[in-house]
Each structure stands twice: as C-alpha cells, then as structure tokens.
Amino acid sequence: MVTFTTERLVLREFQPTDWATFRALEAEPALYYYEPAAPTETDTQAYVERAQAEAQQTPRTHYRLALTRLSEAEVCGRVTLAQLNPAIREWEIGWAVHPRLWGQGFATEAARALLAFAFAELRAHRVVAFSHAENAASLRVMRRLGLQQEGLLRATRWWRDAWSNEVVFAILEQEWPL
C-alpha cells in the first residue's frame, strides 16, 4: 500500500469510507469543465473499485490515490500515475483537486510527490501529462513541475459540441529534481 505525506497533504490508497466525499468531489461541475462529461455515480464507484484492485497488483502499473489534507481525513482530490510504455519506462501523471482549494498549490504539491516516486522508485525515464489546450490552470501546474510542452494534438477532444485541442507535456529523468 502506498502512502505519501507532503507538507500539507496525504496521498493514500482509496478506502471504502471515502465513497461519500469522493463522490461529492467527482460531482463538482467545475472539476469537469474541460471534459466531455462528469462521471456518474456508477463511474465513480467503478473508479474506486479499480483503484482498490490495482493496489493489490504486482507489479503495479497504475496508482490511483486519494488526496487529503493533513488537517482533514476527507478526500479533497486525487492523483494518478499510470504506466504507458514499459519499453521506454514512460508513465502518465494526472491530478484533480476540489475547486474550493484551487489556487493554493495543492495540485502542484501532490503531483511533485508523485513525480519523485515515479523517478526514484519506479525508475521512470519520462513522465507525461495531457491537458485540454485551454485549461490554463492545468498548464500552469505542468510548468511549475518542470514539464515541457512536447506537442499539440489537434482536434482530439470532443468538448462543448466541437473538437478541441489537447497538449502533451513531459519531464525526463535527467531533468528531475528541479
């Protein structure tokens, strides 16, 4: 079982008791503004079940971790790390933080801890992140983490009844730590 503690956060495996607060988080419309749709209750339940099942796998190729503040046990976000291409030791990182906590550096803090784990423990060669091209907040987090934009994927997201662009950022093992 994986647990990381940062200055203000705990990144940990999902527990069955997380359901109510995690569902409330996933139901936040602002969290899914740049996505085609917010997850249903069934989707959220399946996410938690996948996270718990993946936590038991060896070797582990996917980490879905609940994010809590040190001062609270309630889930206020999530972070993910998924193996994309084992041949080149490539992983994908992702994050989501409750909108009431936006602008306070929690996403950067959580993702930084996960990047450190990816490079030190998983021996990642590169870690990538994807974002809607107009998601300025997510792009700022990527840049703060030292990721560099590698490409623009044209018309890859169906969003608000039209195709939109996505960007890919990455950081290499020799670029970490900052």
Domain ranges of the chain: 3-175
Query: What phi, psi does 33 have (nearest 5°)?
Result: -55, -40
**Strand ranges (E), the chain:** 3-5, 9-13, 62-69, 75-85, 90-97, 126-132, 148-159, 162-172
What pLDDT is recorded for position 120? Answer: 96
Q: What is the pTM of this model?
A: 0.94
Report residue 136 as tokens.
């300025």
What pLDDT is recorded for position 37? Answer: 84
CA 129 to chain centre: 9
Q: What CATH number has the domain spanning 3-175? A: 3.40.630.30
Contact 65, 50 (CB under 8 A): no
Residues contacting 78, CB < 8 A, separation 6+ = 22, 25, 64, 65, 66, 67, 95, 96
Q: Determine the Cα–Cα distance for residues 175 and 178; give it in Å rounded to an integer.
A: 7
Q: Determine the Cα–Cα distance for residues 62 and 142; give it in Å rounded to an integer.
A: 20
What pLDDT is recorded for position 178? Answer: 57
Residues contacting 44, CB < 8 A, separation 6+ = 22, 23, 26
What pLDDT is recorded for position 40? Answer: 94
- Residue numbers in the chain where pLDDT is lower than 70: 178
